[in-house]
Amino acid sequence: MEFKLYNTLTRQKDAFDPIDANNIRMYVCGPTVYDLAHIGNARPVVVFDVLFRLLRHLFGAEHVTYARNITDVDDKINARAAEEGIDIRELTEKTAAQYHSDMSALRALPPTVEPRATDHIAEMHTIIGALIQRGHAYEAEGHVLFHVPSMSEYGQLSRRSVEDMRAGARIDVAPYKKDPMDFVLWKPSKEGEPAWDSPWGAGRPGWHVECSAMAEKHLGTVFDIHGGGIDLVFPHHENEIAQSCGAHATERMANIWMHNGFLQVEGEKMAKSQGNFITVKDLLGKWPGEAIRLALLTTHYRQPIDFTMNGLGEAKSLLDTWYRLTENAPEDAAVSDSVLTALTDDLNTPQAMAALHQLRADAAKGDQKAMGELKASARLLGLLEQSSEDWFAWRPEGFAADDQEIEKLIAARIEARNAKDFATSDRIRDELVAKGVVLMDSKNEETGALETSWSLK
C-alpha cells in the first residue's frame, strides 16, 4: 500500500519514506497557553492525532515519536496574566490543564512528548550561538536578530519573493535591524516580564526559535514530519527552517511539512468581535467530544472547513447508529483495506467516511465481518472506542431529566394516547421536548401497539 502525504515544501503528494522506520518523528506546533482553546485550535490536534494513529498502525506504536509543544512564554501570556492579576505560571498551568482536558475529550491521544518552551532556554541559547557563529545572526541593542539575506534558501516553504516579504514586513521597522525581514531570536524583557540570563543580556526568546530548539531536542536536527495550521507557513515555519538549517548547516529541518486548512463557523470567520467564537470547553457541554471529532474529520484536512451545528447533529446521530450496530461486533477484526487506502492517500478522511458508510450498510444486512471491520476501522480514526453504554449515557450540561423520569413520562403519554386523550399526550411530549428529549413513535408489527423510543435533541 502506497503511503502519500501532501508536502507544502514540494507542493505535491510525496511518498512517505521514513528516515528511520524504527523511530518515525513528527513535530506539531502546539498552543500558546493564554486562553481557552477554540474549535479552530482543535482542528490540527484532531487531524494530527489521526496521522499519529495511522503511523502507529503502520509502523508499530513504539516506533513513533510525536512531539507537540506548549508555548508558555509570549507577549499575549504576559498581557493576560497582568489583566487577570495572576502569576504567569498560574495562568499557563491552568490554561494547559484545561487544554489537556479538552483535547482528551476530543479523544486525541497525548503526544509522546509535550515540551514546554521555558524548559528549553539553554537549547535556544545553543542555537542562537551557532547562528551568530555561522554569520546568520547578529546582536543589536540587546537583541539578537536572524539576518534573513544570509540564507539564500529563505522563502522555500512559503514560496514568497523577497520583495513580497519586504513589503509585508512591518512599516515601522526597528532602527537596529539590518534588513526589514530580520526577525527576533532574543530580546530584552520589559519591566515585570519573565527574563532569563543569556550571553546577550537578560531577556527572552522569540517565538520561532522556541520550536526549533524543542524539535531538535526531542526529534533531532532532521526529522520526518512537521505540522501545524496553514497560518503558520509564513513566517513561523519559514523561520523555523531558517534557524534550524542555519544553525546546523543542514538542507532540511523536516522532510514533509503538513498544514491544515482553517475552520470557520456557520460560513463566517470565527472572531470574538463576531460573537461566534466557540471554545472547545463550551461546545463539550452541548455535544459529545466524539461527535465534535467526527464533524472535524468529515472535511479533508487541507480544505477549509465550515463548522456547523447541523454537522454536529449529523455526526452525533451517525455515531448513535454505529454504536448501536457494533454493540456485539467481534473485537478482533482488522482495519478494512478501503479505510487504509483512503487514509494512506494524504489522510483522506472523507473517503474513509464513505468506506465506513459502506461497511455500515453491509453490517446492517448482518455481515459480521463488515461489522467487525467497521468497529476496527472507526477506532483507527479515534471513533467507537467507548463502550456503547458510555456513549449513550452522555448528557448535555444542565440536562434536567433522569432516564427513569423520562421513561415514566413516555409511559404516561402512551396511556393518554391509548385513551385518545390527545391534549394530555401532546402536553407530555412538549414537556419532554423542553427537556431536550426527542420521541420516535412506531407501531409494533405484531400487536399494533404504539411503541416510543427517545433520544437527545
Asked if residue 29 binds Zn ion (CB under 5 A), the reply is yes
Question: DSSP for 318-374?
Answer: HHHHHHHHTTT--TTPPPPHHHHHHHTBT--HHHHHHHHHHHHHHHHTT-HHHHHHH
Strand, helix or coil for residue 261: coil
Residue 433 beta carbon to ligand AMP: minimum distance, rounded to whole angstroms: 34
* Closer Cβ to Zn ion, 29 or 340, answer by number: 29
Residue 304 beta carbon to ligand AMP: minimum distance, rounded to whole angstroms: 8
By the 10 Å C-beta count (0-12 exposed, 13-18 middle, 19+ buried), 97 is classed as exposed
* Closer Cβ to ligand AMP, 262 or 394, answer by number: 262
> Could you say which of ligand AMP, Zn ion, none residue 205 binds, taking C-beta under 5 to 8 angstroms by partner kind?
none
Residue 296 beta carbon to ligand AMP: minimum distance, rounded to whole angstroms: 10
* Closer Cβ to ligand AMP, 40 or 246, answer by number: 40
Contact region with Zn ion (CB under 5 A), list: 211-219, 285-293, 300-308, 401-409: 211-219
> Could you say which of Zn ion, ligand AMP, none residue 372 binds, taking C-beta under 5 to 8 angstroms by partner kind?
none
> Could you say which of Zn ion, ligand AMP, none residue 425 binds, taking C-beta under 5 to 8 angstroms by partner kind?
none
The three cell numbers locating residue 158: 512559503
Neighbours of 393 (CB within 10 A): 10
Residue 135 beta carbon to ligand AMP: minimum distance, rounded to whole angstroms: 30
Residue 283 beta carbon to ligand AMP: minimum distance, rounded to whole angstroms: 14
* Closer Cβ to ligand AMP, 131 or 214, answer by number: 214
Identity of residue 237: H
Contact region with Zn ion (CB under 5 A), list: 11-19, 21-29, 78-86, 276-284: 21-29
Residue 258 beta carbon to ligand AMP: minimum distance, rounded to whole angstroms: 11
C-alpha of 203 from chain center: 31
CA distance 4 to 341: 10
In the 8-state DSSP scheme, what is residue 156?
Answer: T
CA distance 150 to 242: 10
Residue 183 beta carbon to Zn ion: minimum distance, rounded to whole angstroms: 13
Q: Which residue has the cell 542555519?
A: 246
Residue 126 beta carbon to Zn ion: minimum distance, rounded to whole angstroms: 18
Closest chain position to ligand AMP (CB):
229
Sequence-distant (6+) residues with CB within 8 A of 185 are 124, 127, 128, 131, 137, 144, 145, 146, 205, 206, 208, 209, 243
* Closer Cβ to Zn ion, 254 or 355, answer by number: 254
Residue 396 beta carbon to ligand AMP: minimum distance, rounded to whole angstroms: 24
Residue 111 CA: distances (Å) to CA of 48, 420, 457? 10, 59, 34
* Closer Cβ to ligand AMP, 129 or 261, answer by number: 261
Strand order in the sheet with 223-229: 64-68, 24-28, 223-229, 254-260
* Closer Cβ to ligand AMP, 269 or 427, answer by number: 269
Closest CA to 217 of 145, 126, 136: 126
For Zn ion (CB under 5 A), the number of binding residues is 2
Which string of x and - marks every residue 161-200 that binds Zn ion (by CB under 5 A)? ----------------------------------------
CA distance 454 to 389: 15
CA distance 162 to 171: 15
Residue 118 beta carbon to ligand AMP: minimum distance, rounded to whole angstroms: 16
Q: Which residue has the cell 498581557?
A: 79
* Closer Cβ to ligand AMP, 78 or 260, answer by number: 260
Q: Which residue has the cell 554569520?
A: 135
> Could you say which of Zn ion, ligand AMP, none residue 263 binds, taking C-beta under 5 to 8 angstroms by partner kind?
ligand AMP
* Closer Cβ to Zn ion, 29 or 325, answer by number: 29
> Could you say which of Zn ion, ligand AMP, none residue 235 binds, taking C-beta under 5 to 8 angstroms by partner kind?
none
CB 96 within 8 A of CB 181: no
Binding site for ligand AMP (CB under 6 A): 29, 31-32, 40-41, 43-44, 228-229, 231-232, 260, 262-263, 270
* Closer Cβ to Zn ion, 243 or 425, answer by number: 243
CA geometry: angle 243, 246, 249, nearest 5 deg: 140
Q: Which of 211, 247, 265, 292 binds Zn ion (CB under 5 A)?
A: 211
Residues that bind Zn ion (CB under 5 A): 29, 211
